[in-house]
Amino acid sequence: MQGSMAGWGSGLLGVIIFSGSLPATRVGVAAFSPMFLTSARAAIAAALGAAFLYGLRQARPARADIVPLFIVAIGVVVGFPLCTALALQHITAAHSIVYVGLLPLATAMFGVVRGGERPKPAFWLFSVLGAAVVAGFALRNSDGASVAGDFLMVAAILLCGLGYAEGATLSRRLGGWQVISWALLMSLPAMAAIAFATMPETWGGVGVPAWLALGYVSVFSMLVGFIFWYRGLARGGIAAVGQLQLLQPFFGLMLAALLLHEAVAWSMIASTAIVVLCVAGAKRFA
């Protein structure tokens, strides 16, 4: 019970940190190309992760862990950041954030396939209901949306769910921060090369907000958030703690309103209340 509660607390901290990712990415793509932003954030986070791994004398992953780490890298180091950065060229941050509410369902599905978890049928009922609420909210607030942006966000969610589930399974053996650090380190050569090739021709037009956004997605979204998130998934269960992601869109929408001055519909409050109930129900039956 204590481990489960610690898992939920750690997972919630991860969700709060991740909530700033899409607003920060929206600011970042105004000054950087999606390819540069994706590769630069991964390269910076990889350097920090390597310092942690070396400084704390962590053993290298076993050969059997290489493929799962590669899947983590494809999902959360490359796939989700790149797809969201591309999507945010077509849709607003507020619209993209709501798709994150579909992450618990994607994570739970991959948790069943890759992690061997078997939640109760009622869990799926609450998960689908929560996802339906989020989808309905997205449809009601679809100003500025496009087919390309929506498609890219769905792809991002699927890739992220796979990376979350795979990373959580690995975290039980390697530890949460070790998993994301090794996945980042595996990606470093390719990400550094892409960052060098896609860097802006001139840096004079890059303002302070863009640099702050790059710093946030590099340090917090790409590394610190995963330390708490993978620890939460490993200790509290992939399917159960994954439901906390249903709260992430609403944290993110508040940040989009406060920092980007994007309009947030009144229905957010009602949707939040329903989603919180879905999270509580899913937790009970996971």
Average of per-residue pLDDT across 67-78:
94
Per residue in 6-37, pLDDT (tens digit) is 788 888 999 999 999 999 999 999 999 999 99
Average of per-residue pLDDT across 201-221:
93
Return the pLDDT at 126: 82
Confidence category of residue 85, pLDDT binned at 50, 70, 90: very high
Per residue in 165-185, pLDDT (tens digit) is 888 888 878 877 899 999 999
Q: Is the pLDDT of residue 216 over 80?
A: yes
Per residue in 186-200, pLDDT (tens digit) is 999 999 999 999 999
- For the chain, what percent of residues have pLDDT higher than 70? 89
Q: Is the pLDDT of residue 2 over 70?
A: no
C-alpha 73/C-alpha 231 separation (Å) is 17
Return the pLDDT at 1: 54
Average of per-residue pLDDT across 205-218:
94
Return the pLDDT at 45: 95
Return the pLDDT at 25: 94
Average of per-residue pLDDT across 240-246:
78
- Indicate the average pLDDT of the chain: 85
Return the pLDDT at 268: 63
Q: Is the pLDDT of residue 148 over 60?
A: yes
Per residue in 96-106, pLDDT (tens digit) is 877 777 787 78
Return the pLDDT at 265: 64
Average of per-residue pLDDT across 30-50:
95
